[in-house]
């Protein structure tokens, strides 16, 4: 039995003027019409597949008709779908609704817009299951959805359409409870041993990836509202470090939300509301955190370290910024490596020292807190410059200098021979100035970055609670160093050498000599003794 009814054959016959077609002839023509239609559609499907498409178009039907030597049907190549209407009084009869067009309207109609060039654009549909709010994606509207998760709308022509709302981020009840406990401990019990265990859990747990956006939002929100709370700020930075240390989570898509919080902790104008708040330690911690992020994700985001460096350099060179902000910028640049110090800090060292010197002298700055901040900045500059020279001298002298120690092989292990070092007594150390204490042992090249920063900070500390003897030593040291730095031929030469410190072929001996004009003999404590003998 044919799928084409004989009534359809009779209607077609009547449309072309045949009114006396018998029912037997209509029944015989129906199977033949079905065969011919199937044959044309099979050829049209072949044309579609050869065109590497999955949608059948009218052009494919025209191509099939041409293959069968049949005149193709013209006038149906429009991109709009045909609108069929049901004939009144006939349940299975449809026709195309042709609208009457006025010739005057066609003439007065404006010209269509020119066709745009074909172009391809890409955008993110979703990142980690979350749809980004960009113009290319459908906006997420907070409207009540039906039970099946669909929303009904209507087009201009009145035809109803269904739009499926985006799926909400589903977090299990256990993860919600875990997030609440971690945030409560961070805010209320940051000094307890339970908080340390919580940080260890965040750094090692493999099932915390769904909570990453919530932790990032929690950190950024609390940092923006609690700059006066030093303990909470430090706890938030420790939580951020634990998230970065977790190898099981994918935190790269959320770095653009985390970095402002870390940078704020580094170069904020004021952190905490008490004098006893050690915000210098928080800035050191944030500097190491910035360096960690740049090392781990610099290959993923090629402009990450560039943007961070530009932000820190602007804070360092802005004379309107507070001294704690300068300290944080210097610590951040120093943590990024000796190359950053050589390229950005050393060429700007001479003009910056002219601004810093009046803040360090007791005669010109009577505010003890300001002097303490200035000496902190001075110590950060000394530490950064010394570490830069340490790496540069080691790299330079490693090419032609012999090994400084002899070694013995025993049980496949390398054991260094004991060397006869000069041990300074406690009485001698107490009588020496702070900078001489750092240079007495000569082993500063093997010290860690944190220990050097702590020693320099302790050596230059003249702040609240310092003893009168320590304050007098610092004043005497500052007066001796600053008075010897007069404008002369050597000082101008040192400034010109530092201005060219960014060059790769800059002589290390000249650079070290130029730094000694600003930091005195204390800069030599960063150069190991075997390498120092070359310059001597």
pLDDT digit string, tens, across residues 471-486 = 433 443 344 444 444 4
Collapsing DSSP to helix, strand or coil, 84 comes out as strand
Inform me whether the pLDDT recorded for 300 exceeds 50. yes
Q: How far is Cα 122 from Cα 124, in angstroms, rounded to an integer?
A: 7
Q: How far is Cα 323 from Cα 376, in angstroms, rounded to an integer?
A: 9
413 membership: H or E segment, kind and range: strand 413-416
Instruction: Tell me the per-residue pLDDT of 162-216, one tens digit each, with 9 for 90 and over.
Output: 555 555 667 888 999 999 999 999 999 888 899 999 999 999 998 888 899 999 9
- The pTM assigned to this predicted structure is 0.54
What pLDDT was estimated at residue 191? 84
Angle ∠(338,342,343) on CA atoms, nearest 5: 120
Tally of CA atoms within 13 A in the half-sphere of 393 that contains its CB:
25
pLDDT, average across residues 252-264: 91
Inform me whether the pLDDT recorded for 27 exceeds 70. yes
Question: What letter does residue 15 receive in the DSSP assignment?
Answer: H
Q: How far is Cα 31 from Cα 363, in angstroms, rounded to an integer?
A: 112
CA distances from 133 to 166, 258, 449 (A): 12, 18, 42
Inform me whether the pLDDT recorded for 460 exceeds 60. no
pLDDT, average across residues 138-146: 50
CB atoms near residue 61 (< 10 Å): 20
Residue with tokens 């904020």: 268
What percent of the chain clears pLDDT 90, i.e. is strictly above it? 23
Which residue did the predictor score with more confidence, 446 or 76? Answer: 76
What pLDDT was estimated at residue 73? 74
pLDDT, average across residues 29-48: 92
Q: How far is Cα 3 from Cα 396, in angstroms, rounded to an integer?
A: 90
- Give the lowest-confidence range in 230-234, 262-266, 488-492: 488-492
Instruction: Tell me the per-residue pLDDT of 497-525, one tens digit each, with 9 for 90 and over.
Output: 676 766 666 666 777 777 777 787 777 77
Q: How far is Cα 528 from Cα 445, in angstroms, rounded to an integer?
A: 6
- Decide if 381 contacts 349 (C-beta within 8 A): yes
Across 105-139, b (16+ Cβ under 10 Å) vs e yields eeeeeeeeeeeeeeeeeeeeeeeeeeeeeeeeeee
- Decide if 186 contacts 227 (C-beta within 8 A): no
What pLDDT was estimated at residue 203? 93
Collapsing DSSP to helix, strand or coil, 151 comes out as strand
What pLDDT was estimated at residue 85? 82
Beta strand ranges found along 329-375 (DSSP E): none
85 membership: H or E segment, kind and range: strand 84-86
What pLDDT was estimated at residue 310? 92
Name the β-bridge partners of 94.
86
Inform me whether the pLDDT recorded for 288 exceeds 90. yes
Cβ burial of 478 (10 Å; 0-12, 13-18, 19+) is buried
Instruction: Tell me the per-residue pLDDT of 53-102, one tens digit each, with 9 for 90 and over.
Output: 888 888 888 889 988 888 877 655 555 566 778 888 887 788 877 777 78
- Decide if 214 contacts 254 (C-beta within 8 A): no
| Average pLDDT of the chain to the nearest whole number | 75
pLDDT, average across residues 97-117: 79
Q: How far is Cα 263 from Cα 325, in angstroms, rounded to an integer?
A: 11
What percent of the chain clears pLDDT 70, i.e. is strictly above it? 69
What pLDDT was estimated at residue 396? 64
- Decide if 290 contacts 328 (C-beta within 8 A): no
What pLDDT was estimated at residue 454? 42
Q: How far is Cα 533 from Cα 520, in angstroms, rounded to an integer?
A: 18
């Amino acid at each position: 039995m044919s799928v084409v009814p004989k009534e359809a054959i009779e209607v077609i016959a009547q449309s072309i003027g045949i009114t006396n077609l018998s029912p037997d002839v209509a029944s015989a023509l129906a199977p033949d019409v079905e065969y011919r239609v199937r044959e044309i559609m099979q050829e049209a499907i072949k044309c579609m597949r050869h065109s590497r498409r999955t949608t059948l178009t009218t052009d494919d039907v025209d191509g099939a008709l041409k293959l069968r030597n049949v005149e193709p049907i013209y006038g149906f190549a429009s991109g709009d779908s045909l609108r069929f209407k049901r004939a009144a009084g006939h349940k299975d009869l449809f026709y195309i609704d042709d609208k009457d067009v006025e010739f005057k309207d066609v003439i007065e109609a404006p010209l269509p817009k020119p066709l745009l060039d074909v172009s391809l654009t890409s955008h993110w549909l979703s990142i980690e299951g979350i749809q980004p709010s960009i113009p290319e994606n459908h906006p997420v509207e907070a409207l009540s959805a039906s039970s099946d998760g669909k929303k009904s709308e209507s087009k201009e022509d009145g035809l109803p359409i269904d739009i499926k709302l985006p799926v909400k981020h589903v977090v299990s009840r256990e993860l919600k409870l875990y997030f609440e406990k971690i945030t409560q401990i961070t805010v209320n019990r940051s000094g307890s041993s339970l908080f340390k265990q919580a940080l260890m859990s965040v750094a090692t747990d493999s099932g915390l990836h769904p909570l990453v956006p919530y932790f990032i939002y929690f950190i950024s929100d609390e940092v923006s509202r609690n700059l006066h709370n030093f303990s909470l700020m430090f706890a938030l930075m420790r939580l951020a470090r634990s998230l970065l240390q977790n190898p099981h989570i994918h935190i790269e898509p959320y770095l653009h939300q985390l970095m402002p919080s870390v940078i704020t902790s580094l170069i904020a104008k004021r952190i905490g509301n008490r004098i006893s708040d050690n915000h210098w330690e928080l800035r050191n911690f944030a500097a190491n955190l910035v360096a960690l992020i740049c090392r781990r994700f610099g290959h993923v985001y090629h402009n990450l370290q560039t943007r961070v460096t530009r932000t820190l350099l602007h804070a360092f060179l802005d004379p309107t910024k507070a001294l704690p902000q300068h300290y944080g910028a210097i610590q951040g640049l120093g943590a990024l490596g000796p190359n950053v110090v050589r390229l950005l800090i050393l060429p700007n060292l001479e003009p910056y020292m002219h601004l810093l010197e009046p803040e360090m002298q007791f005669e010109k700055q009577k505010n003890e807190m300001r002097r303490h901040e200035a000496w902190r900045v001075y110590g950060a500059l000394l530490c950064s410059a010394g570490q830069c020279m340490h790496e540069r001298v080691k790299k330079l002298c490693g090419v032609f200098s012999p090994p400084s120690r002899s070694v013995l092989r025993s049980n496949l292990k390398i054991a260094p021979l004991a060397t006869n070092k000069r041990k300074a007594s406690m009485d001698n150390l107490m009588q020496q100035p702070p900078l001489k204490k750092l240079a007495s042992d000569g082993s500063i090249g093997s010290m860690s970055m944190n220990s050097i920063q702590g020693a320099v900070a302790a050596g230059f500390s003249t702040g609240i609670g310092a003893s009168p003897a320590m304050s007098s030593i610092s004043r005497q040291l500052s007066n001796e160093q600053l008075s010897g730095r007069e404008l002369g031929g050597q000082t101008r030469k040192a400034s010109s050498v530092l201005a060219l410190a960014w060059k790769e072929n800059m002589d290390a001996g000249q650079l070290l000599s130029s730094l000694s004009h600003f930091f005195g003999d204390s800069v030599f404590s960063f150069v190991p003794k075997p390498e120092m003998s070359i310059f001597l």
